[in-house]
Each structure stands twice: as C-alpha cells, then as structure tokens.
Amino acid sequence: MDSLERILKDHPFVKNLSPDHIQLIVGCAKNIVFEPGRFLFKEDEDASEFYIIRTGKVALEIYTPEYGPITIQTLGNGEVLGWSWLVPPYEWRFDCRAVELTRAIALDGKCLRGKCEQEPKLGYELMKRLSSVFEGRLYAMRLQLLDIYSSQEPKQSK
Amino acid sequence: MCSMIPHPYKIDRVIKETHDTFTLELKSCNGNGNFEFKAGQFNMLYVFGVGEVPISISGDPNEIDTLVHTTRAVGTVTKEIAKLKKGNIIGVRGPFGTSWPVVEAKGNDVIIIAGGIGLAPLRPAIRQIISQRKSYGKVVLLYGTRTPEDILLRRELERLRSRLDIDIDVTVDRATREWTGNVGVVTSLLSSTPFDPINTTVMICGPEIMMRYTISELEKRGLNHDNIFVSMERNMKCGVGFCGHCQYGTEFICKDGPVFSFTRIKDLFGKREL
C-alpha cells in the first residue's frame, strides 16, 4: 500500500471512505511540511489546495490595518483546512500560518474537483464530510461572535 | 455560624488577576479563623452600605485558615468590592450550596472544563484532586476564555502544567500573533482529548451557552448524563432557599445547587421560560 494511502485512510476526515475513493484521492495528494512561521497561503492568492493536517498547528489570520494580524482560529492534528478550492473564484479569504512544525497532506483542488465530477459518489461523500466540518466551524464561530466571556452584559430585548 | 448573619472578615491580600478580575484573601475577625467548605460552594459577600453578592469560594479546601474568593468587577457590589484594600472589613455568610463530586470521582478519569471566570469555582476541586492525585485516573483541564490577557490564574495554570500529571489545554476566542496557543471555542479542545465515556467524570463551569454546547459534544462522545456536573448561576439572595430569588424550576440554585448532576436538571437546562 502506498504510504500516502496509508496515512490518508487513518485520518479522521478520510476514515471509512471506500478503498476505491481513497485511491482516487491519493492521485491528487502530496506530502507537505511547513516550518513554524511559514505561510500556507495568503489572502487573495489562488486557492489551489486542500490540506489534511496530520500533526502540528496552523493559525487562520485576518489582517486588520488597525491591529495587524488577528488569529481567528487554530487548527491541528486530525483536522482539515480550506474550502476556497471548492468555490469560485478559488481564492483564499484569509492568511494561514504554521504556528508549529506542521505535517499535512495537500490535495490539489483542481484535481480533486475533477475527480468529484467524474465520480459523483465520491463528490457526495466528500461534500457530506465537508458539510459536517462547515457546520461545526459555523457554530463555533457564532459562539465566538457572542463574546460570551465578556464582562459587558448584552442588552436584553424587551 | 448562623447562616443569616454576616460575619466580619478582614482583607488580608488583594491580587489583581486580569484587567477586570481579582482575588481576595480574607481572615476572620473573630477568634476561630478556620473556614471549612467544600469545593464548589459559595459565600454571600456583604459590602456594608452597598449590598450582598454571591461569590464562589476559590481557595483550597485543605487550607481553611484563609478564605479565598476570585471574582470579576461587573455589578454594583463587585465593583465596590474591587475598590477594597488590605485591612478593610467585609461581611461573609456561608458556605452555601452543593459541591463538586470530588470524592465520588475517585477512581475515574476527570475532565474539568471551564469558561472565563468559571475557572474560579472549579479551582477548589482542582486543588483537592491534585492533593490526592493518585486516587484519580487521567486528569484534564480544558479552559476557554476571551483573549490571552483574560486568562485567569495564569501562573497557577503554568505551575500545574509543569507537574506533568495533569493535562492542561487553553484556548482563547481571539488573539494576536504573539499568542502561540489555541484559538477557538473550548469544545474544540475536547476533540483532541481521548477519554473513556464509562469511567470519566466531567465538571463544567462557565456561561450557560458554553456549558450547553460542551454537554452536546460530550453526549456525542457517549458520556452518560450522570457523569456530567455543572455549576449554575442565578440571582442568589438568602442562600438557604427561603426567598425564592434563585428558583430554577423545582430547584433552588442556592440550596439544591449551584453544582448539579446534569441528569437532575437536564429538563430545565436551556429552557427559555426559566
């Protein structure tokens, strides 16, 4: 078994995907390592890859002219990163920087879109898994927006 | 000690924790200085001429010669408490309420999940567990707060982490690049925390919405409601279940809580009418 295939099949995002589908994904995959401080991507750049993080930690950042870069989320072992490869115009919306030495599998976005078009069952399975990730992140982001640890009490509506 | 009469305590030390939180160390003005309490209980602190407010005890249950409270200056009374200095007198009634299942959790793995100022009511439980560390399996503390500057009891957390027999993970809602820790909600830490759902006791304290989300994640991981304990907060006044200010369905938070097994309150939890 290919080492990439072995690594992929144990990752929580890919786990229990059929061997045929894993084979298809492996065709788009490469191993990648980011040293601490190195950017995985920057805002407005082409979103050409989807990352399956094996180990390490990366920070998603928004640059603000007033405060500089603000970290909005960190992602690490067993998580996935990026969905701008999936939706036009295929450009990153944020910066992403490795906080620790990070090992990941990078899947070529164009290649993966092609495989999903060719094999809709794989496409649907990936969409289901990505939707679950979106749902979790959206919920978490809404909680962060609530600023629940603030000492300022929200005004109650009458 | 009569539960309705405030007893005078002298402020022995004031520790500024973050920009809006502080810890008071109090000594009794009476002869017997010992104050026995259980982890999770609270006192009513009385600022003379201003009012009374329920504050969890944040000290070590094994160190009963000093009464410790950690709180945030947010309301009328706590803002006045924040102005008090060493040597000032404050009224104390208590201890009131139920406690964390520190004894019952022996033999189990323990996961402590705190949000914001919610770390303070859990501190006595952490101290007690650490003092009998061998009686427990794996001990994990997951803490979420607003920013790195809002991390409560930071030095104590760093000391605990250096013990190597307790796993501590901290996350913040937002940070600048100087912070190399986690950014995200506290439940994101749970996904990287392995535990056996049968033999794990979880203690949670924080904003109610954070507790709700956390419990939902724990349910997904197969944890039984009997093993989940939460500390609830309402408008406690008398402290003994007479006045009804803190009534929560059929329960009184001051007397039947603040610490509840989730099984006991799951039908009330998150109800809008309450």
Of A143-147, B102-106, B135-139, the poorest mean pLDDT is in A143-147
Q: What local confidence, expressed as pLDDT, does residue A154 receive?
A: 56
Question: What strand order describes the sheet that includes B139-145?
Answer: B182-183, B167-172, B139-145, B109-115, B200-205, B228-231, B259-261
- Chain A residues 18-77 with CB within 8 Å of chain B: 57, 59, 61, 67-74, 76-77
In chain A, which residue's Cα lies nearest the Cα of B147? A149
DSSP secondary structure of chain B? --TTSPEEEEEEEEEE-SSSEEEEEEEESSS-------TT-EEEEEETTTEEEEEEB-S-TT-TTSEEEEEE--SHHHHHHTT--TT-EEEEEEEES----TTTTTTSEEEEEEEGGGHHHHHHHHHHHHHTGGGSS-EEEEEEESSGGG-TTHHHHHHHHTTSSSEEEEEES-EETT--SEES-THHHHTT----TTSEEEEEES-HHHHHHHHHHHHHTT--GGGEEEE------SSSSSS-TTEETTEEHHHH-SEEEHHHHTTTTT-TT-
Residue type, position A33, single letter: V
pLDDT band for position B34 (50/70/90)? confident
Interface probe for A, chosen from B173, B180, B216 (most Cβ of A below 10 Å), is B173
Q: Does A139 touch chain B (CB under 8 A)?
A: yes
Q: How far is B79 from chain A (nearest CA, A)?
A: 12
- List of chain B residues whose C-beta atoms are within 8 Å of the C-beta of residue A77: 192
Residue A1 has pLDDT above 60, yes or no: no
Integer Rg of chain A from CA: 17
Number of other residues whose CB lies within 10 A of the CB of residue A37: 10
Residue type present at position A13:
F
| B5 CB burial (10 A radius; 0-12, 13-18, 19+) | exposed
Give the separation between CA B116 and CA A127, rounded to whole angstroms: 35
Distance CA B198, CA B273 (A): 33
Largest CA distance in chain A: 63
Cα gap B39→B59, rounded to integer Å? 8
Q: How far apart are CA B199 and CA B195, in angstroms?
A: 8
C-alpha A108/C-alpha B263 separation (Å) is 48
Contact A74 B209 (CB under 8 A): no
What's the confidence (pLDDT) of residue B161? 92
Rounded distance, CA A91 to CA A98, Å? Answer: 19
The share of chain B scoring above pLDDT 90, in percent, equals: 76
Residue in chain A closest to B208 (alpha carbons) equals A148
Task: State yes or no: pLDDT of B26 exceeds 60.
Answer: yes
B114: nearest Cα among B156, B79, B74: B156
Q: Is the pLDDT score of B164 beyond 90? A: no
Domains of chain B with CATH codes: 7-96 (2.40.30.10), 109-231 (3.40.50.80)
Least confident window among A49-53, A144-148, B36-40, B132-136 = A144-148
Q: How confident is the model at residue B79 (pLDDT cuts 50, 70, 90)?
A: very high
| Average pLDDT score over chain B | 92
Considering the entire predicted model, what is its pTM? 0.91
Q: Is the dihedral of CA A7, A13, A19, A24 positive or negative?
A: negative
Residue A82 has pLDDT above 80, yes or no: yes
Q: Please tell me the predicted confidence (pLDDT) of residue B249.
A: 86
Q: How many CB pairs under 8 A join A and B?
A: 73
Among all residues of chain B, which has the CA nearest to that of A142? B185
Given CA atoms B260, B264, B269, B274 in this order, what sign does their dihedral have?
negative
pLDDT at B31: 66
Q: ipTM of this model?
A: 0.87
**Can you give the pLDDT at residue B160?**
94
Domains assigned to chain A? 3-146 (2.60.120.10)
Q: Identify the pLDDT of residue B105.
A: 96
Task: Report CB contact under 8 Å: A149, B115.
Answer: yes
Q: Using the beta-carbon criterion (under 8 Å), do B207 and A149 form an inter-chain contact?
A: yes
Per-residue pLDDT averaged across B122-139, rounded? 96
Chain B contact set for A99 (CB, 8 A): 180
Cβ-proximal residues to B104 (8 Å cutoff; 6+ apart), any chain: B201
Tens of pLDDT, residue by residue over B167-202, are 999 999 999 999 999 999 999 999 888 889 999 999
What residues of chain B have any CB closer than 8 angstroms to a CB in chain A?
A: 20, 72-74, 115-117, 144-146, 150, 171, 173-177, 179-185, 187-188, 191-192, 206-207, 209-210, 213
